[in-house]
Amino acid sequence: MPSRSVVPVSVALIVRDEADRIGPALASVAWADEVVVLDSGSTDQTCAIAAASGARVVVEPWRGYGAMKNRAAEVCQHDRILSLDADERVDPDLAASIQALPADAPAAAWRVRRRNHVAGRAIRHWPWAWDRQIRVYDRRRARFVAAAVHESVCADGPVADLPGILDHLTYRDWQDGVDRNRRYAELWASAERAQARPSRWVDRKIRPAVAFWRHLLIRGHLLSGRDGWRWSQLTAEYVRWKYELLAEPQG
């Protein structure tokens, strides 16, 4: 089949138990030349839904976010990669701008503008309303830093911006936010413990309060009313969990 883009594009997703969200994500990249889904042990219908959409499904053990995203890119056929999460949707303008990228583009990677939603509602105010993430890259010149959590792309060359929007439908509901932040905190604490980082009293008691008021007042979450208050609380809880978990004795 001839390429649908100027340069063939592979879409790479890492997933686990995303049956309720992966379908729309894959539908938003139906234009891609290849879609690879790297699954780390789903117990729901994630793999079946992905395969039915035409994606190539690969199942491997979990090894951390950054490492899994690099592995997903490795098993792709093409060098130009779009890294996508199951809770993200590529809008038509972004799809068109990715497809139009020339073969001789000087950039090694491209940032996309991401519009964030929480519990089904768009966030209205900075800094959570929008962010920019490197999601399109040449795997020969860029790759994810192999972090356990909060992974990012490191590019060996210029980084450019792409028109269009990546919709990010983050926490399904507030409990999902609590559960996910708890998991992220555990991953962060495990990684920092391996580096012998201490957990001080000020980290556990003062940092969470500072995080709460910084997000509520300085970063403007107060303008979002009850939702902004809850987002600020969630951020503070995440900070507290990180350092409390770091302080726990290990057997």
* Per-residue pLDDT tens over the stretch 129-164: 789 999 999 999 999 997 666 788 999 999 999 999
Asked if residue 180 and residue 122 are part of one domain, the reply reads no
CA dihedral 169, 170, 176, 180 (to 10 degrees): 150
Same domain, 135 and 191: no
Mark whether 81 and 180 lie in a shared domain. Answer: no
- 221 found inside a domain: yes
Mean pLDDT, residues 6-27 taken together: 96
CA–CA gap between residue 235 and residue 231 (Å, rounded): 6
98 and 67 together in one domain:
yes
| Domain identity same for 147 and 178 | no
Structural domain ending residue among the three candidates 169, 202, 236: 169
Across the chain, how many H-helices and E-strands are there?
Answer: 7, 11
Residue 67 falls within a domain, yes or no?
yes
Q: Which two tokens stand for residue 61?
A: 């053990």
Q: Is residue 155 domain-shared with residue 214, that is, in the same domain?
A: no
Say yes or no to pLDDT of 220 above 70.
yes
Whether 191 and 243 map to the same domain: the answer is yes
Judge whether residue 117 has pLDDT over 90.
no
pLDDT averaged over the chain? 91
What CATH code is carried by the domain that includes residue 58? 3.90.550.10
156 and 208 in a common domain: no
Would you say residue 39 lies in a domain?
yes
| Whole-angstrom distance, CA of residue 125 vs CA of residue 20 | 27
Domain end residue (candidates: 112, 137, 169) = 169
pTM attached to this predicted model:
0.82
Q: Which of 26-30, 51-55, 136-140, 175-179 has the lowest mean pLDDT?
A: 175-179
Domain membership of residue 190 (yes or no) is yes
Higher pLDDT, 11 or 228: 11
What residue has token string 């699954």? 39
Range of the domain at 85: 9-169
Question: Do 130 and 43 sit in the same domain of this protein?
Answer: yes
Query: Among residues of the chain, what percentage have pLDDT more than 90?
Result: 65
Are 56 and 80 contained in the same domain? yes
- What is residue 122's predicted lDDT score, i.e. its pLDDT? 76
Q: Are residues 185 and 99 in the same domain?
A: no
**How does DSSP classify residue 3?**
-
Determine the average pLDDT of the residues in 83-96.
97
Q: Is the predicted pLDDT of residue 1 greater than 70, yes or no?
A: no
Provide the domain count of the chain: 2
Of 146, 169, 192, the position where a domain reaches its end is 169
Residues 155 and 192 reside in one and the same domain: no
- Structural contact between residues 90 and 117, judged by C-beta atoms closer than 8 angstroms: no
In a domain, 2, yes or no: no
Question: Distance from first CA to last CA of the chain, Å, rounded?
Answer: 56
